[in-house]
Amino acid sequence: MAEGAGRGCMVSYELDAEGRMASVSFQSAAMGALFARFPQALLVHRACAPSGRALYIFLADGPCLAVRGAAGRVVHLAVPRDESARGLARMCEAFRAFNPAWWRTRVLLVGPDLPEPVALGQAFPAAEVRLSAFHVCKHLQEQIHRLGLEHRAEQLLLSTLHGTMCRATESKRREMHRVLSETVPPDLLPRFHAHWLLTDKIWAVHGERSCKKSCDYFMELETVTQGLSQVFSAELFLETCIASLAKYCQNNGSSATPSGPPQAEECIMQSLSDICTESAARLCLSELAVVQKSVQLIGTSVDAVNVQILEDAHRVTQEGLGHCTCHFNQTFQLPCRHIQAVLNSERKTLQPEMLGRRWQKGCDPTQGMQDSVDHLLEDLESPWDESRDKFLAVSSLTAEVSRLLASCSTEEFELRCSTLRALADSWIGPYMQVKL
């Protein structure tokens, strides 16, 4: 399992045999801060995608918790490799690694569809695993709709359930139990698990809320679980999925934001100033700016550090951290965003051997080399406009496409070339005028 950190974000992930992301856990600084303040009760919601994958949403719970925004309760997001006991245990390991206050959790509120509740209980030995009032009410609501009753009978059940949700007193719960027993056909009643209405432990935490807070609580949970489920179901790949989920939480959660850059980033900036020429420092600082605003996924193998910033995946050499497969490092021999992401993650600073000699302070290169460098800097330091941005973006994309074509099989090469051929013809002109 590999871990990474961006500015205010933490990510843990595993790769499958083909090098694709097989599991991922994500947490922003705001999520971690919320859990640190309210670790006593966690609600765990499970959402399934059409692909069969499951998203686990961890939410802070408790009657004293007041949040802003539908996603303001979310403290952790995870997609396990699978839902076996081991898969869920690995997911919980990541949660505990991100949250030192995990041992203070006393209640885990879960739904009836959780495949391995014992695994969660073992991961949080001081906590009691209980069915949540939210999941019980959601289950009852779904079962009522499936009955296909005539409108008046269905509305009676739903309005009684709503009253129970807003004021979960013992009398209200017994009333709901009675209405279910009298309205639902006896052969279908076991599906409802009506006895959950009479289990006091399920309603203990929820019963402490006022009527308004209870209604707001159910509305907030329904909104955020549905919203995240829709985002999760729409994405095909975990690499893009986790970014979309994080964006949803950012747009729909609390306005709290992490303060100032980490100390490690300040050290990198200082080391750039100490050992690089001014021009080289400016180039590297632009790469560091990308690192500061992004989530990086950093995994370690025997001879390399795998770095992925969003969808831009590259490899950094393990020894010396001086080389990366990205275009920036290959062209300029300067520490790119991927190398700086590793430095930031490992709390290291820039070293002279990580950049080409011509960029180091005090270097006295030959005049020919200096002319070459001056020419390069003249181009790089010219004003950045839209056309230049487009050119560099297309150049990078072209290089990546060329690399992929060179490494694929003959059959796949012919298929991809035909796709490029059709795209070029439709954009530029007929076959005789276009050269790929």
Q: Which of 8-17, 38-47, 133-142, 367-376 has the lowest mean pLDDT?
A: 367-376
**pLDDT tens digits, residue range 207-224?**
778 888 888 889 889 999
- Mean pLDDT over 397-405 rounds to 70
In this prediction, residue 157 carries a pLDDT of: 93
pLDDT band at 59 (very low <50, low <70, confident <90, very high): very high
In this prediction, residue 87 carries a pLDDT of: 94
First to last CA, the chain: 41
In this prediction, residue 202 carries a pLDDT of: 92
Q: Which of 102-106, 152-156, 318-322 has the highest mean pLDDT?
A: 102-106
Q: How many CB atoms lie within 10 A of CB 8?
A: 20
- Mean pLDDT over 90-113 rounds to 94
- Mean pLDDT over 111-139 rounds to 92
Q: pLDDT higher for 195 or 305?
A: 195
Q: Distance (Å, rounded) from C-alpha 181 to C-alpha 160?
A: 13
Nearest to 297 by CA among 284, 312, 285, 317: 312
Nearest to 295 by CA among 36, 66, 69, 8: 8
Q: Distance (Å, rounded) from C-alpha 19 to C-alpha 17?
A: 6
Q: Which of 40-49, 84-93, 253-262, 407-416 has the lowest mean pLDDT?
A: 253-262
- Mean pLDDT over 25-29 rounds to 90
Residues 132 and 201 sit within 8 Å (Cβ to Cβ): no
Residues 343 and 350 sit within 8 Å (Cβ to Cβ): yes
pLDDT band at 436 (very low <50, low <70, confident <90, very high): very low
Query: For the chain, what percent of residues have pLDDT higher than 70?
Result: 79
**pLDDT tens digits, residue range 256-271?**
333 334 766 677 778 8
Q: Which of 8-12, 81-85, 379-383 has the lowest mean pLDDT?
A: 379-383
Q: Distance (Å, rounded) from C-alpha 420 to C-alpha 436?
A: 8
Nearest to 271 by CA among 349, 352, 340: 349
- Mean pLDDT over 380-398 rounds to 55
In this prediction, residue 228 carries a pLDDT of: 94
Q: Which of 26-40, 121-135, 150-164, 414-428 has the lowest mean pLDDT?
A: 414-428
- Mean pLDDT over 307-332 rounds to 75
pLDDT band at 312 (very low <50, low <70, confident <90, very high): low
In the block, tokens 């951290």 appear at 321
Q: Which of 20-34, 85-99, 333-347, 358-372 has the highest mean pLDDT?
A: 85-99
Nearest to 340 by CA among 383, 379, 384, 283: 283
CA-CA-CA-CA torsion sign (404, 410, 412, 417): positive
- For the cut 80, the answer to whether the pLDDT of residue 83 exceeds it is yes
- Mean pLDDT over 105-130 rounds to 92
Give strand pairing partners of 150: none
3-state secondary structure the chain: CEEEEECCEEEEEEECCCCCEEEEEEEEHHHHHHHHHCCCEEEEEEEECCCCCEEEEEEEECCCCCCCCCCCCEEEEEECCCCCHHHHHHHHHHHHHHCHHHHHCCEEEECCCCCCHHHHHHHCCCCEEEECHHHHHHHHHHHHHHHCCCHHHHHHHHHHHHHHHHCCCHHHHHHHHHHHHHHCCCCCHHHHCHHHHHCHHHHCCHHHCCHHHHHHHHHHHHHHHHHHHHHHHHCCCHHHHHHHHHHHHHHHCCCCCCCCCCHHHHHHHHHHHHHECHHHHHHHHHHHHHHHCCCEEEEECCCEEEEEECCEEEEEECCCCCCECCHHHHHHCCCCHHHHHHHHHCCCCCCHHHCCHHHECCCCCCHHHHHHHHHHHHHHCCCCCHHHHHHHHHHHHHHHHHHHHHHCCHHHHHHHHHHHHHHHHHHCCCHHHCCC
Q: Distance (Å, rounded) from C-alpha 405 to C-alpha 436?
A: 12
Nearest to 135 by CA among 37, 235, 47: 47
Q: Which of 1-10, 214-223, 389-398 has the highest mean pLDDT?
A: 214-223
320 class by beta-carbon count within 10 Å (0-12 exposed, 13-18 middle, 19+ buried): exposed
CA-CA-CA-CA torsion sign (278, 295, 2, 405): negative
Q: pLDDT higher for 273 or 163?
A: 163
- For the cut 60, the answer to whether the pLDDT of residue 382 exceeds it is no
- Mean pLDDT over 363-391 rounds to 48
Residue 79 backbone phi and psi in degrees, to 5: -120, 105
Residues 124 and 101 sit within 8 Å (Cβ to Cβ): no
pLDDT band at 392 (very low <50, low <70, confident <90, very high): low
pLDDT band at 27 (very low <50, low <70, confident <90, very high): very high
Nearest to 297 by CA among 237, 375, 228: 237
Q: Is 19 left (phi over 0), alpha (psi -120 to 50) or beta?
A: left
Mean pLDDT of the chain: 80
Residues 34 and 255 sit within 8 Å (Cβ to Cβ): no
- Mean pLDDT over 337-356 rounds to 82
Q: Which of 144-153, 187-196, 251-260, 351-360 has the lowest mean pLDDT?
A: 251-260
Give strand pairing partners of 312: 309
- For the cut 80, the answer to whether the pLDDT of residue 408 exceeds it is no
Q: Distance (Å, rounded) from C-alpha 75 to C-alpha 30?
A: 8
Q: Which of 3-12, 289-298, 373-382, 411-420 has the highest mean pLDDT?
A: 411-420
In this prediction, residue 194 carries a pLDDT of: 95
Q: Which of 240-244, 256-260, 268-272, 364-368 has the highest mean pLDDT?
A: 240-244
pLDDT band at 235 (very low <50, low <70, confident <90, very high): confident
pLDDT band at 78 (very low <50, low <70, confident <90, very high): very high
